[in-house]
A and B are shown apart, each in its own frame.
Chain A
Amino acid sequence: MSNILQEIGINNYIYLSVLLFCVGVLGILFRRSAIVMLMSVELMLASANMLLAVFSVYHQDASGQVFVVFSMAVAAAEVAVGLAILVAIFRNIGSIDIEKLKNLKG
Chain B
Amino acid sequence: MITIIFYILATVTLGTAILTVLSKHPVHSAVYMIVCFFSIAGHFLMLNALFLSVVHIIVYTGAVMILLLFTLMLMNLNEDHAPKKKVASRIAAVISTCLTAFVLLAVLLKSNTVIDTYRAENIDFASVKVIGQVLLNEYLVPFEFASILLIASMVGAVLVSKREKKA
Contact = CB atoms under 8 A, between A and B. Distances in A.
Interface of A: 1-8, 10-12, 14-16, 18-27, 29-33, 35-36, 38-40, 42-43, 46, 49-50, 53-54, 56-58, 60-63, 65-66, 68-70, 72-81, 83-88, 90-91, 95-97, 99
Contacts of A14: 108
Contacts of A84: 156-158, 160-161
Contacts of A26: 21, 93-94, 97
Helix, strand, loop or mixed for chain B's interface?
Answer: helix
Interface string B80-99: 00100100001011101100
Helix, strand, loop or mixed for chain A's interface?
Answer: helix
Contacts of B13: 16, 20
B35 interface: no
B135 A69 contact: yes
Contacts of A4: 2, 6, 46-48
A35 B51 contact: no
B131 A88 contact: no
B94 to A, nearest CB: 7
B52 A15 contact: no
